[in-house]
């Protein structure tokens, strides 16, 4: 591992799949979306939705949002969308350090009283739910009931739903109309275009320790490699991460200080991504669109495409196996 990092002048791996907040990319309207979310929360909006395809950075955005608001609000994070309506109540109560006992109705009353007490102390409560498209209808109805808690001027609890496009489809159903009408702000994440793919790659390399890539003459990825990655990934950040990681390993195995188009092609063959039906005209996605309604700003960012990007544990182990093999090969072939 150390030889690999030294080879590319890195401090840490630049294309990890875990959503480390220090690697957050603010381009492709991600930064604007974050600021709009913070504005909506500061203004007491009740339910907010963020929709994007698999791999477009919803979980990263969620982590960054919570990280930046951790000193301002009481945070509740729900990562398990399969929670029943009762389990959601219990989970929120536990996250807010509320001693719970009794039946569902008693717990609900205790939670309501606790939320009101926090509000009277000037504390905001923010509930972030990941993969919300997988929530049972009864759980979504429970979220709606929670959003009903309010004073004459303020919402007592605010909720952000992060989900795939199926969330929008689900909320369009007639029996969830009341919940849909309570969503005051909705955001959609689009795919990166070709220029943004280059910016994204260099951003992560810089954050990982290689500041030289800020110079146009000191690029690790050649223009051909970036074009190949942009084409195959279709601007989906998780795919970009996987392809870049594989391409850098291929370059390392070749003892090359730059990642060429041939290395990106090798990575693409290894990843074997299927071409998506969506074909953006500019190679990366549609522009952000904004709309307003109900007296409150509503930013709607048009989505790029569907994506299937699986980061299996077996693949992760495979990557490190290739890395170890490459190091051993280079060590063996290095002149004594």
pLDDT higher than threshold 80 for residue 1: no
Please tell me whether residues 206 and 114 are part of one structural domain: no
pTM here is 0.80
- Nearest-angstrom CA–CA distance, 152 and 243: 52
Give pLDDT, residue 277: 52
Residue 41's domain is classified under what CATH number? Answer: 3.40.50.300
Across the range 267-293, mean pLDDT stands at 52
At 7-22, the pLDDT tens digits run: 999 999 999 999 999 9
Burial of 110 (0-12, 13-18, 19+ CB in 10 A): middle
The per-residue pLDDT for range 162-171, each reduced to its tens digit, is 999 999 999 9
The predicted structure's pLDDT at residue 304: 32
pLDDT in tens, 224-235: 999 999 999 999
Residue numbers of the domain that contains 244 = 2-16+193-276+313-333
Statement to judge: residues 12 and 56 lie in one domain = no
Q: Of 159, 189, 219, which closes a domain?
A: 189
Tell whether 52 is covered by a domain: yes
Q: Is 179 in the same domain as 255?
A: no
Quick one: 271 and 322 in the same domain? Answer: yes
127 and 64 in one domain? yes
Name the token pair of 219. 């690029």
pLDDT of residue 331: 41
Give the number of other Cβ atoms within 10 Å of residue 121's Cβ.
Answer: 8
Note the residue count of the chain: 336
Last residue of a domain, one of 189, 215, 230: 189
Domain count within the chain? 2
Closest of 36, 14, 118, 99 to residue 298, by C-alpha: 36
Boundary residue ending a domain (132, 154, 189):
189
Predicted confidence (pLDDT) per residue in 177-190, tens digit: 999 999 999 999 99
């Amino acid at each position: 591992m150390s030889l690999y990092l030294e080879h590319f002048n890195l401090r840490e791996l630049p294309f990890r799949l875990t959503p480390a907040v220090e690697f957050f990319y603010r381009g492709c309207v991600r930064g604007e979306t974050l600021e709009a979310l913070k504005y909506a929360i500061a203004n007491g909006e009740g339910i907010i939705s963020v929709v994007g395809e698999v791999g477009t950075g919803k979980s990263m955005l969620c982590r960054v949002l919570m990280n930046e608001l951790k000193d301002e609000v009481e945070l509740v994070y729900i990562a398990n969308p399969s929670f029943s309506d009762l389990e959601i109540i219990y989970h929120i109560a536990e996250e807010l350090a509320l001693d719970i006992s009794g039946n569902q109705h008693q717990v609900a009353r205790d939670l309501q009283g606790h939320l009101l007490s926090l509000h009277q102390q000037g504390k905001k409560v923010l509930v972030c739910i990941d993969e919300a498209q997988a929530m049972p209808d009864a759980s979504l109805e429970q979220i709606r009931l929670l959003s009903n808690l309010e004073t004459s001027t303020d919402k007592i609890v605010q909720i952000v739903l992060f989900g795939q496009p199926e969330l929008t489809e689900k909320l369009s159903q007639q029996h969830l109309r009341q919940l849909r009408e309570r969503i005051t702000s909705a955001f959609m994440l689009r795919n990166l275009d070709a220029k943004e793919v280059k910016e994204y790659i260099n951003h992560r390399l810089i954050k990982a320790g290689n500041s030289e890539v800020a110079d146009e003459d000191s690029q690790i990825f050649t223009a051909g490699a970036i074009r190949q990655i942009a084409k195959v990934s279709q601007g989906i950040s998780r795919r970009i991460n996987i392809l870049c990681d594989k391409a850098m390993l291929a370059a390392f195995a070749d003892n090359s200080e730059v990642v060429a188009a041939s290395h990106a092609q090798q990575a693409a063959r290894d990843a074997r991504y299927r071409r998506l039906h969506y074909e953006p005209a500019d190679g990366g996605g549609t522009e952000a669109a904004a709309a307003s309604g109900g007296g409150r700003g509503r930013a709607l960012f048009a989505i790029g495409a569907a994506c299937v990007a699986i980061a299996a544990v077996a693949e992760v182990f495979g990557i490190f196996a290739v890395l170890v093999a490459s190091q051993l090969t280079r060590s063996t072939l290095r002149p004594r």
